[in-house]
Amino acid sequence: MFQPKFPLKLSDTDGAYSSIRELKETIKQNVVILLSVSPGEWPGNPQLGVGVRRFLFANYPSQEVMQVHKSIKDQFAKFLPFLEVSSEIIEKDSQGRSLADQNQLKLVVRYNIPPLNESDYVEIGVAE
């Protein structure tokens, strides 16, 4: 169950690197990796990954950016099927200003972990 915690740090107690010891934290790291990795990057599994970076320079709103939701659903269904997932793009900041006008984009991915009766989210912000 233990996996290295990113970013990697040397550890005197866990072996070479610090490890994640809690299941909820392991799941969160797996979610972040699934969202961050682009298809073709993961050794031994070229189908893995949403690749949110590829939307960095896409126009908003566009069909390409809206496709991220389908990609997230598909990837979670295939690689993390025990999670219930939803995603949304946040269009305004806390003061109600358009993020697109500020050359920013925010993606929020919420997920439920039914076996643990827990939920969590990952927020990914992209700024110029």
Q: Residue 67: pLDDT band by 50, 70, 90 thresholds?
A: confident
DSSP 49: -
Mean pLDDT of 27-55: 90
Residue 58: what pLDDT? Answer: 64
Domain total of the chain? 1
CB 115 within 8 A of CB 121: no
pTM of the model: 0.82
pLDDT digits (tens, 9 = 90+) for 103-125: 777 889 999 999 999 999 999 87
| CATH for 37 | 3.10.450.40
> Quick one: pLDDT at residue 17?
83
Structural domain harbouring 31: 3-127
pLDDT of 127: 57
DSSP 106: E
pLDDT of residue 74: 95
- Rounded mean pLDDT of the chain? 85
pLDDT for residue 4? 82
